[in-house]
Structure 1
Amino acid sequence: MEWQEFSGSWVLIPHNPIGIVHFLGGAFVATAPHLTYRWLLENLAKQGHIVIATSFLNTLDHKAIAVNVQNRLENILYRLEYKEGIELNYLPIYGLGHSMGCKLHLLIGSLFDIERAGNIFISFNNYPLKQAIPFVENIIPSLKDNLKNYLQIDNNLEFEFTPCPEETKIIIRENYQIRRNLLVRFNNDTIDQTLILKPILTDLFPNMTSALTLQGNHLTPLGQDIDWQLGDFFTPIDTIGKWLKENFSRDLYNLHREISRWLNPVIINN
């Protein structure tokens, strides 16, 4: 099973698929999700899910990004069914997002009349521009000066994501329609805003919204397994390697296990 590129998205197709996972990553690592989130996505595919990891470039217009990635998903689903001959009619589709990817899935679930078996939100982040991008305070004045050369703009013009954080919450509260949701936050994540999202979704779907707090940090979903091969004799270096594997991989394993359990509660995870 190897990654295939369709319309700027990366796709894994297992034999006899049991579902479809549409993945959207964080703002600065979403251009190559098949690499940055490789271990997590490939292991979901090994369990039988078609994984569609859509790449995107972050801009201020998050609504436009959401529309674009949803349109690309629909094109890929059409291609898989009518050109690749994969029967998709009875496969549940799940959204899986990390950080900014959560916001995009929330917008998609609010702006489009779509069918989703559920959405998984890992480390939801909906900060305003000045908090989301380091050093942006130094970038914006320069950007305004450059724009003056081409456009007549007000010096007081404020740059912000569209929709802004408050508008995003209103859109979700009034229009979000995906009933089953899993929210995952990590105990050492300083930029997570899951606690802001949780009451909104709980009010909408009180019996269908689950929340977990796991060991890890904001970068845990990007982790890769450390494949430490033991030699014929166990050495002190092997002890270090074993410790690294257990500690750096443990949080990623736990995340994968909880996602798998939620996607298919029948599966017993060791």
Structure 2
Amino acid sequence: MEWQEFSGSWVLTPPHPLGIIHFLGGAFVATAPHITYRWLLEKLARQGYIIIATSFLNTLDHKAIAVNVQNRLENILYRLEYKQGIDINYLPIYGLGHSMGCKLHLLIGSLLKVERAGNILISFNNYPFKKAIPFAENIIPYLQDNIKNYLQLEANLDIDFTPTPIETNIIIKENYHIRRNLLIKFSDDTIDQTLELHPILKQLHPNMITALQLSGNHLTPLGQDIDWEMGGQLFSPIAGISQWFQDNFSRDLYNLYQQISRWLNPCPDVGF
């Protein structure tokens, strides 16, 4: 299997797919999800899932981003079915999000009429603008240049994301229709807000919500040991991040993959 790029999304297609996973990553690392989340996504593809990892640029209008990534997903599904001959009609579609990607999947499942077999929400983050940007600067110092413009805006304007965190919670409470959800929180994640999201979803779908706390931190889903140098030039803006991730992540990352895999296929075939 090799990654294919379709209209800004990256796709992995196993030979005999069991389902489809639409992946949305965290802010500032979502521009190249096939690289930043490569290990996890490729493991899920080898399990039999078509991976559609949609890149996006973070802006203040999260509702517009959610609509855009969903429209791009539908275009890719059309391409897979009618141009590549893959019968997707009977394949379950799952949303998989990390950090801001969780918020986008929640907005998609609240504001748009989509069919999902379930959503997997890792390290949900719904902070207001003034908290979210400094957190990103502190956690991923290699990306300081990328968020400089946001910090300048913050110094001069009283602005926030659209919808705001409060508005987002209201939208979810009133409209979220994806019944089956897996919520994952890491033990050393200081910016995770899963504990606030869990009761909202539990009230909507009491018997369909699974919540787990795993060892790791906010960056665990990005852990991998890869060569970040491509064609003699370092991949920017994430070139320096490799040093940040390579140590002590493999065990937590593999456990994350196992829990996702178990939730996707809770009753695997048993040989006799």
- Does TM, scored on the shorter chain, surpass 0.5? yes
**Change in 2 beyond 3 A, CA 1:97/1:141:** closer
Task: Check the 8 A contact 1:261/1:268 in 2, yes or no.
Answer: no
Specify which of 140, 150, 155 is matched with residue 153 of structure 2. Answer: 140
Q: What secondary structure sits across from 2:210 in the alignment?
A: strand
Structure 2 counterpart of 1:61: 61
Residue in 1 that maps onto 2:114: 114
Correspondence for 2:262:
261
- Match for residue 158 of structure 2? 158
Is 1:201 the counterpart of 2:214? The answer is: no
- Asked if the contact 2:4–2:12 (Cα under 8 Å) also holds between the matched residues in 1, the reply is yes
Q: Within 1, Cα distance between the matches of 2:154 and 2:103?
A: 27
Give the gaps of 5 or more residues in structure 1. 145-156, 228-243
Query: What residue in structure 2 maps to residue 252 of structure 1?
Result: 253
**8 Å CA contact retained: 1:22, 1:96:** yes
Gap runs ≥5 in structure 2: 138-147, 228-244
What do the CA deviations read for 1:45-101 (whole angstroms, capped 9, x no partner)?
000000000000000000000000000000000000000100001000000000000
Could you tell me how far apart the structure 2 residues matched to 1:249 and 1:139 are? 36
**Cα shift at 1:158:** 2.2
Cα deviation code 1:133-164 (max 9, x no counterpart): 0278951266x5xxxxxxxxxxxx62110000
Task: Answer yes or no: is the 8 Å Cα contact 1:37–1:223 preserved in 2.
Answer: yes
Distance in 2 separating the partners of 1:35 and 1:9: 12
Q: How many residues align?
A: 240
**Amino acid corresponding to residue 49 of structure 1 in structure 2:** Y
SS of 1:265's partner is coil
Cα deviation, residue 267, structure 1: 3.0
- Give the 3 Å change call, closer, same or farther, for CA 7–188 of structure 1 in structure 2: same
Contact 1:226 1:249 in 2 (8 A): no
Q: Which residue of 1 aligns with 2:22?
A: 22
Secondary structure at the counterpart of residue 249 of structure 2: helix
1:224 equivalent in structure 2? 224
Q: Residues 63-78 of structure 1: matches in 2 within 5 Å? A: 63-78=63-78
1:256 to 1:163, Cα distance in 2 relative to 1, 3 A: same
Q: Work out the CA distance in 2 between the residues paired with 1:141 and 1:196.
A: 25
| 1:213 paired residue number | 213
**1:185 equivalent in alignment to 2:185:** yes
| Matched position secondary structure for 1:97 | strand
Residue type of the alignment partner of 1:116? R
* Aligned partner of residue 56 in structure 1, secondary structure: coil
For 1:33, the equivalent position in structure 2 comes to 33
Do structure 1's residue 91 and structure 2's residue 104 form an aligned pair? no
Q: Any idea what SS the aligned residue of 2:11 has?
A: strand
Residue type of the alignment partner of 1:102: C
Cα contact 1:18–1:48 (8 A) shared by 2: yes
1:7 deviates by: 1.1
Counterpart residue identity of residue 199, structure 1: P
Q: For the residues of structure 2 that align with 1:79 and 1:141, how far apart are their CA atoms? A: 41
Trace 1:5-20 onto structure 2 (pairs within 5 A).
Answer: 5-20=5-20
Partner Cα separation in structure 2 for residue 97 and residue 173 of structure 1: 19
Measure the CA separation in 2 of the matches of 1:50 and 1:191: 30
Distance 1:215 1:170, change over 3 A: same
Residue identity (%): 75
Q: Following TM superposition, by how much is the alpha carbon of 1:226 offset from its aligned partner in structure 2, in angstroms?
A: 7.8
Normalising to structure 2: TM-score of the pair?
0.84
- Cα separation, 2, equivalents of 1:184 and 1:49: 20
* 2:223/2:246 contact within 8 Å kept: no
The yes-or-no answer on 1:128 pairing with 2:132 is no
The separation in 2 between residues aligned to 1:250 and 1:198, in whole angstroms, is 26
